Chains A and B, each alone.
Chain A
Amino acid sequence: MAGRGVTPRGGRTLGFTATAAVAAPTHAHLVETGFGAFYDGVAHVALTPADLLLVIALALFAGQRGTQAARWTLFALPVAWLTGGVLGAHLPVQSTFPLLTTLTFGFAGALIAFDLKLHAAAVTVLALVAGLVHGGVNGATMAPGGASLLGLTGAVTAVFCVLAILSAQVTTLQAGWTRVAVRVAGSWIAASGLLMLGWLAR
C-alpha cells in the first residue's frame, strides 16, 4: 500500500487544487450565484436590505388595503421597477441613493403602522414611485457591475414573487392579532428607516 501512496505530481496537484478551492472572492459589485445573470438579479434583491424592506412593506400595505389594491400593486411595482432599472442603467452616476431608498421603505412602513386608509389608486401610485426609485437604483448600480437586462429581469421577478405571496396572505387576514402583527411589522420597518436616516445624516 505504501508504494501506492501519493506521487509527487499528485501531491502538487492536490496542493494546487486545494489552493484554488479557497481562492479569495473577487468582491464584484453584484452577487454571483453561479447560476447565471437571472439568478444574480434574484439574489441582488434578496441581499439588498433596502430593496427587500420596501417590497415587504408595500406587500403588507397593499394587502392591508384590500384585494383591489393588492392586485394593482402586484403589477404596478414590478413594471415600475423594470422601467426604473432600464432608465437607471443609463444614468451617468453610480450610487445607491440611500436617502431616497430609505425614505421610500420608511414611509411605506409608517403607512402600515398607522393603518392609513388610502384608496387603491393611491397605493398604486405609491408603488409606481417606489418602483421607479428602487428600480432606478438597481439599474444604476447593477449595470456597471456587468448585469444585463436578464439580471434586471431576475430582480423584477423576485420583487413580483415576494409581493404576490405576502400581499395575498395579508388580504386573507381577518381582524385580530394577525392584522396587529402586520402593523407591528410596519412599525419595525418604519423605525429602522428612522434610525437609518440618522446614520445617513451622521
Chain B
Amino acid sequence: MKKTMISSTSGAGWRAGLLALAFVPALALAHEETGQATGLLAGLAHPVSGLDHVLAMIAVGLWGAVLGPPAIWVLPVAFPLVMAMGGLIGLLGFPLPGVEIGIALSAIALGVVVLAEARPPLWLAALFVAFFAVFHGHAHGRELPEGASALLYSLGFVIATGLLHAVGILIGEAHRWDAGRRLIRAAGGGVALGGLFFLWRAVA
C-alpha cells in the first residue's frame, strides 16, 4: 500500500514537472522561422527552386566552357555582379516589363548559342550574358522570406547561382572529347527547348 502511494505521488511530481514545461514560453515561438540561418538557407534554396533559372545558369557555365579561357571565368565573375544590379533595380522599385519572358528568352538564347557553339568576341559574349542577368536578378533577388536576414539571403542566392555556373562549367569540360562535344550541344538544345516551354507558360 505504501509502495502504491509513493508511486502515485511520484507520478504527480512528474505531472507537475511536465505541466511546468508546458508553460515555458520558448515552446510557443513557432509561428515562423527567423534569424540568420533561415536567410542563408532560403537564399541557397531559392535559385534551385525555379527550373527556368537553373537552366539558364547552367547554360552560362556550359557556354563558358565551350568558349574556353578567358570567357570561362569572365562570365561567372561578371554574371553575379550584373544580376545583383538587376536585383538592386528591382529593390529600388524600378519596374522591368516582361521579366518572366526575359528569363525564358535567356534560356532559349543561351541554349541556342551552346547548341551552335557560337564564338563571338569576349565583350559581346559578356554583354549578351549580362543583358539576361538583369532579368534574373530583377525577378529573383528581391523575394526575401519574412523574418530572414537580408544580407545572408542575398549571399546564399548569389552563391547558389554561382554554383550552378560551376556545374555548367564542369559538365562543359566534356567538350574536350568528340562525344562530349555532341553531348554538350545536345544539352544546349535541351536548355533551348526548356526555355521555349517557359516562354509558352509566360505568354499563355
Kindly state whether residue B142 has any CB partner on chain A within 8 Å: yes
Chain B contact residues, majority secondary structure: helix
User: Known contacts being A15-B16, A192-B155, A194-B88, is A10 close to B10, with CB within 8 Å?
Assistant: yes
Give Cα distance in the complex from A3 to B83, angstroms.
71
Give Cα distance in the complex from A11 to B155, angstroms.
49
Q: Is the CB of A198 within 8 A of B80?
A: no
| A 11-33 to B, binary, CB cutoff 8 A, 1 in contact else 0 | 11011101100111100000000
B contact residues around A3 at 8 Å (CB): 3, 6
Q: Is the CB of A15 within 8 A of B84?
A: no
| B 94-107 to A, binary, CB cutoff 8 A, 1 in contact else 0 | 00000000000000
Kindly state whether residue B120 has any CB partner on chain A within 8 Å: no
- Number of A-B pairs whose CB atoms are under 8 Å? 146
User: Known contacts being A195-B157, A198-B87, is A184 close to B162, with CB within 8 Å?
Assistant: yes
User: Known contacts being A196-B150, A199-B91, is A15 close to B24, with CB within 8 Å?
Assistant: no
A contact residues around B24 at 8 Å (CB): 19, 22-24
A contact residues around B92 at 8 Å (CB): 198, 201-202
Enumerate A168-198 residues with CB–CB distance to B below 8 Å.
177, 180, 183-184, 187-188, 190-198
| B 1-12 to A, binary, CB cutoff 8 A, 1 in contact else 0 | 001001101111
Kindly state whether residue B26 has any CB partner on chain A within 8 Å: yes
A contact residues around B88 at 8 Å (CB): 194-195, 197-198
Kindly state whether residue B59 has any CB partner on chain A within 8 Å: no
Total count of chain B residues near the partner, CB < 8 A: 50
Q: Is the CB of B154 within 8 A of A195?
A: yes
Give Cα distance in the complex from A115 to B157, angstroms.
23
B contact residues around A193 at 8 Å (CB): 84
Q: Is the CB of A188 within 8 A of B13?
A: no
A contact residues around B36 at 8 Å (CB): 47, 49
Give Cα distance in the complex from A184 to B152, angstroms.
17
Kindly state whether residue A8 has any CB partner on chain B within 8 Å: yes
A contact residues around B91 at 8 Å (CB): 195, 198-199, 201-202
Enumerate A99-127 residues with CB–CB distance to B below 8 Å.
102, 110, 113
B contact residues around A202 at 8 Å (CB): 91-93
Q: Give the nearest-CB partner of B137 in chain A.
A: A195
Task: Determine how close the nearest CB of chain A comes to the CB of B137; give it in whole angstroms.
Answer: 8
Kindly state whether residue A5 has any CB partner on chain B within 8 Å: yes
B residues neighboring A (CB under 8 Å): 3, 6-7, 9-14, 16-18, 20-21, 24-27, 29, 36, 73, 76-78, 80-81, 83-85, 87-93, 137, 141-142, 144, 149-152, 154-155, 157-159, 162
- List 12 additional A-B contacts (Cβ < 8 Å) besides A25-B26, A49-B149, A180-B77: A2-B7, A5-B6, A14-B17, A19-B20, A23-B26, A24-B26, A102-B151, A191-B154, A192-B151, A194-B81, A195-B154, A196-B150
